[in-house]
Chain A
Amino acid sequence: MSELTARPVPVSVSADEVREWLRDRVAAHTGRPVEEIRPDLPLTEYGLDSVYVLGLCAEIEDHYGIEVEPTVMWDNPALDPLAEALVPLITAH
């Protein structure tokens, strides 16, 4: 995971890019092929419970160099809305 920290991040980013990156991470976390991760289903479907998703939140912060309220994960339980919610935060940064 440490290689994630050093990666330069584009200043502007699209919801699609964010979503694909998130799918990738969820796949890594859950040990499933990325194709199986549907962006419209709640992450609880993949066994990522309320405490667990906080770890994913930490990765988002590191990757995009932003700080987000961890509850963003709860208010946006699927990847589609999550990506939409993250874009303005990333762009503002």
Chain B
Amino acid sequence: MTSAVPVSPARTAGVAGDHVHDKHISTLEELFGDAGDPVNPVGRAEIVAADERGEMLAAGEDLLTGFGLNAHFVPEALGGRFTGLEQLIGVMRAVYRRDPCLGLGYGAGSFMAGVNVWTAGTAAQQLRLADRLLAGDRAACAYHELAHGNDFSRTGLTALPGPDGRRRLNGRKEIVANLRRAGSMVLFARTNPAPGSRSHSQLLLDTDDLDPGSVRHLERFGTVGMRGVQLGGIEFTDCAVPPGSVLGGTAGLGVETALRSFQLTRIALPGMTVGLLDTALRTALRGARSRPLYGGTVTDLPLSRSILAEAFADLLLADTFTTVAARSVHTAPAQAGVYASAVKSFVPPVLMRAVYRLSELLGSQFYLRAAEQPLFQKLLRDVQPSAFGHASRVSCQSALLPQLPLTARRGWLAAEGAALPAETFRPGMPLPGVRFEDLALTGGGRDPLSRSLVAGAADAREDGGIAAQARFWCAELDALAAAASGLGPGAAGPAASPYAFGLTTRWAGVLAASACLNTWWHRPPGADAFADRPAGVLAALHRLGTHLDHHRDPLPGALAEPLYTELVRRFDAGLTFDLDCRPTGA
């Protein structure tokens, strides 16, 4: 063992989190007001109506412009308010709680474009995009081509030098948010016809600088969910690329830049989507409590309470895992790629299944779009792209798979490398800034989050459920290490066996368990009554076992009842269901 993690709740000398950041979220919540107020221009009714029309809610966009949401995508050093991933997720989650379309269609696209530039752009390029975003402009992140899906290394759009030596764009991008109305775009293009991973680049383009005659916008893509988001396509024909457009100034670094910078967004997007489940859960509870059944309401049935408690536990599980991953970007940037792939492959299905189960609880209350809870059917449709958007589960698993054997040998069996610093597991506590330059292509076989599990379990002095869970997940890590070191060459790659892909899911499971247990072990002193009792973490771990198909048992009553009680307490007090537990009008 190379390091130990302090187990007793640390006495953090009076540090009370990031007040400035906290204030931003509170401001945003105040601006959005009470979602249930029928005359609120950004309330529930207006959000559903805009969705029916397939439009972004204009009042919501104005609100976010007034709030200065874009500033949260721009690093502080460039004049923005981006100080860390957890803070960004917190702000965006507040938007997702109201309307996922606003979250994705106003914000997330610009952030995805931004991380490319913050990671690999020249100083001038960074300033340029920062200025545009801070002025309220949008940036489109144009990677996707229908023919190649998430496999951007096979991109068809080319930016090859023409006879005059100047690069020209040929080809198309499809299903990209805000393409038509963005002032800037980060375009992923092939800049060298040779095969391999040094043939692509990002281009940072101002749409005004492109010859309109060589650019054609495709008809908007209609989608079943996120209907307000303007998903466009663009086709270039011999479109001259303005000089200085290649990101970083050197062509050929595109694949590397994408793999490094998207580590942030692969963590951030699932983290934001937790806000969608938050509102879905609130909506389902509202519906179930108002629905008469056999002389009571639906929530009198133990099954209903169990389903609601399980969705709550799913939310806590998803939030804990993404929060720890987001914080680990600050404390272990070299492994951010591993944790980003684990989060993006594991968390979206958890969120989706939870929303699906809640839909079964609501039944006709959601299926009838004009019934008591019309927002729910929108959330059910809006949650779907979290599975395939940005990076699909299989592409994330494919990124984890080649790292599995080395991680087994170095990180798990040889126990190389340190555990994560304790502050990683203390949400809201200060962290060092994100060092974009430290983001790496692979974790180098080190897995500090798993080390934290082993170290924490060894040091834990508690009995009962938590200790049993710690032992269980350490044993699972040992079993996984044995299985992964038995993977033969050729086990990775797209033609890998379902068994090999399954090992990456088990890996993500161990990481999620470590996140949950360590967040518990490092809980601050004087936490509120719920956070100070193990029901929440035990319920999250129980659900983790369900998602990994270790068992299919409902949450035991001893866990379901305290969770349901807490759920109702927060609902009545207007608090969010995530770790933040903050006031919301959603």
Contacts and interface: CB of A to CB of B under 8 A. Distances in A.
Chains A and B directly touch (beta carbon < 8 Å): yes
Interface of A: 1-2, 5, 25, 28-31, 42, 44-45, 47-59, 61-62, 67, 69-71, 73-75, 77
Given A48-B493, A55-B402, A55-B403, 6 more contacts: A2-B409, A5-B409, A29-B489, A49-B197, A54-B403, A57-B442
A44 B197 CA distance: 9
B488 A1 contact: yes
Contacts of B441: 54, 69-71
Interface of B: 153, 194-198, 255-256, 259, 398-399, 401-403, 405-406, 409-410, 440-442, 444-445, 485-490, 492-494
A89 to B, nearest CB: 15
B388 to A, nearest CB: 18
Contacts of B197: 49-50, 53, 73-74, 77
A1 B489 contact: yes
A55 B492 contact: yes
Nearest to B399: A51
A54 B495 CA distance: 16
A68 B195 CA distance: 22
Contacts of B406: 55, 58-59, 61-62
Contacts of B195: 42, 44-45, 77
A1 B444 CA distance: 17
A28, A50, A51, A55, most chain B CB atoms within 10 A: A51
A1 B198 contact: no
- Give the 7 A-B residue pairs with the shortest CB-CB distance, closest first: A55-B402, A58-B406, A50-B197, A74-B197, A28-B489, A77-B196, A44-B195
B445 A44 contact: no
Contact of A71 (B256, B405, B444, B490): B256
B487 A1 contact: yes
Contacts of A56: 402
B442 A1 contact: no
B405 A52 contact: no
A52 B493 contact: yes
A51 B402 contact: yes
A29 B490 contact: yes
A56 B403 CA distance: 9
A76 B489 CA distance: 21
Contact of B256 (A48, A59, A74): A74
23 contacts: A1-B488, A2-B485, A28-B490, A29-B490, A50-B196, A51-B399, A52-B402, A53-B197, A53-B402, A54-B441, A54-B442, A55-B401, A55-B406, A57-B442, A59-B405, A59-B406, A62-B406, A62-B409, A70-B440, A70-B441, A74-B256, A75-B198, A77-B195
A30 B496 CA distance: 11
Nearest to A32: B490
Contacts of A2: 409, 485-486
B442 to A, nearest CB: 5
B398 A67 contact: no
Contacts of B153: 49-51
A5 B492 CA distance: 19
Nearest to B485: A2
Contacts of A52: 402, 492-494
B111 to A, nearest CB: 23
A42 B401 CA distance: 22
A57 B488 CA distance: 15
A1 B402 contact: no
Contacts of A77: 195-198
Contact of B489 (A25, A53, A70): A25
Contacts of A58: 402-403, 405-406, 442, 445
A70 B442 contact: yes
Nearest to A4: B409
Contact of A74 (B255, B399, B444, B488): B255
A70 to B, nearest CB: 4
Contacts of A70: 440-442
Given A74-B196, A75-B198, A61 B492 contact: no
A1 B401 contact: no
Contacts of A69: 441
A28 B487 CA distance: 12
B493 A47 contact: yes
